[in-house]
Amino acid sequence: MNSAEPDISQLQRWRHELHRFPETGFNEARTADFVTQVLELLGLEVHRGIGGTGLVASLTVGDGPGVIGLRADMDALAMSEDAPGRLHASQNPGCMHACGHDGHMAMLLGAAQLLVQRRDFNGTVRFIFQPAEEHGRGAAAMMADGLFQRFPVDEIYGAHNMPGMPMGQIATRAGGIMASEDNFVIRITGRGGHAARPQMAIDPLVIGAEIVLALQTLVARSVDPGQPAVVSCTEFITDGIRNAIPTHVTIKGDTRSYDPAVQALLERRMRELCQGICAAHGASCEFEYTHEFVPTVNWPQCVPVAAAAARAVVGAERVDDQVQPMMISEDFGAFLRVVPGAFVFIGNGEAGSAGGVPLHNAGYDFNDQLLPIGARYFAELARQRLPSSSSSRN
């Protein structure tokens, strides 16, 4: 292999700059400007405005017909960073990279730099920077804008850092690796009244509490125990005050599963439970259920490619190619519905370590030690999937 290695200090500078100026989905204008500048300095032509703020750059070496896509997500979360003393903390109030997309971008930029330097593959690599992953809209927007018609790929690969996994361990599996996500909103209308005279009211708060508890029976008593499913109520909103029973209660949350039949079952049983409980108490109910993320299902023929590249970078003992599926969701699944590919987790650090703070936590930070590992992993995918005569002899 060419002796060129990632410039760790450069990768850190890129990552910290992206971390300082986070932007939410479809608002990643400054982010796209920065990524474009780096790619153009590497000598790549960048195509922008794909699905909003998305962009693609391609690198062709030799005359090989193969084309692979390497993808990083760009958006941040609408939450405030809580990291006193962190020099690269967010300078955009109410917004932070709490999921590590700053690191994902820096890793892919590092891979582009390595591949430009090494040129140890034969074919075309497309560097795909996707907006709006957090809400599951960016992949669809890029595809609706002709992503794979304008920039066709044979396969596509992605990665996500994972707190709780040992730093630098890489894990994947064939088939479903991450779940779908569906969102629900339950609006209960009762009759408000004085807290001292509850017999005059229809208390939607008590009804809502009964619904929250009843929903927890769905997975235990309606879903086949062999099918993964999660139902989580995450918001409980009322219009009451300390001495007044409310009239309105809104419950929000999400469900996770892998099987479309389970999705349909959860939606039907949730609606039946909510409407039935409300009717029993003389209240009315509105129930909404929306599909946000499809499951992320790795193509079996692509997982050995991802695992081989991982072993070449971190060693066989640090690669798990049969990891247990997780109930988190990832917009990359939308790409895998139309293009073969595979997704991997890269350990950000175990609990209690610097990289062990959970995703979507105000104190989270991407582990900079991962940057060269991720850059080498993405570059190795190109080398293994698009071998040149020289690299195949190594």
Task: Say whether 160 counts as a known binding-site residue.
Answer: yes
CB count, 10 Å around CB of 234? 9
Task: Say whether 360 counts as a known binding-site residue.
Answer: yes
Q: Do the Cβ atoms of 389 and 371 come closer than 8 Å?
A: no
3-state DSSP call for residue 362?
coil
Task: Say whether 101 counts as a known binding-site residue.
Answer: yes
Q: Tell me, yes or no, if 133 is annotated catalytic.
A: yes
Dihedral Cα 382, 383, 389, 391, nearest 10 deg: 170
Say which of 102, 120, 133, 182 is annotated catalytic. Answer: 133
Cα angle vertex 46, ends 40, 49, to 5°? 135
Phi-psi region of 250 (alpha: psi -120 to 50; beta: other; left: phi over 0): beta
Q: Which residues contact 280 (CB under 8 A, 6 or more apart)?
A: none
Dihedral Cα 258, 73, 123, 386, nearest 10 deg: -50
CB count, 10 Å around CB of 146? 11
One-letter amino acid of 150: R
Separation of alpha carbons 376 and 2, rounded Å = 12
Helices (H), the chain: 8-20, 29-41, 101-118, 138-144, 147-150, 204-215, 217-221, 260-280, 303-314, 332-336, 370-385
Scan for tokens 């039949």, then name that residue. Answer: 261
Separation of alpha carbons 255 and 267, rounded Å = 9
Task: Say whether 134 counts as a known binding-site residue.
Answer: yes
Cα angle vertex 127, ends 65, 74, to 5°? 155
Separation of alpha carbons 313 and 375, rounded Å = 10
Would you please indicate which residues are annotated as catalytic (active-site) residues?
Answer: 75, 133
Residues annotated in the binding site, as ranges?
A: 99, 101, 134, 160, 360
Residues annotated in the binding site for Mn(2+), as ranges?
A: 99, 101, 134, 160, 360
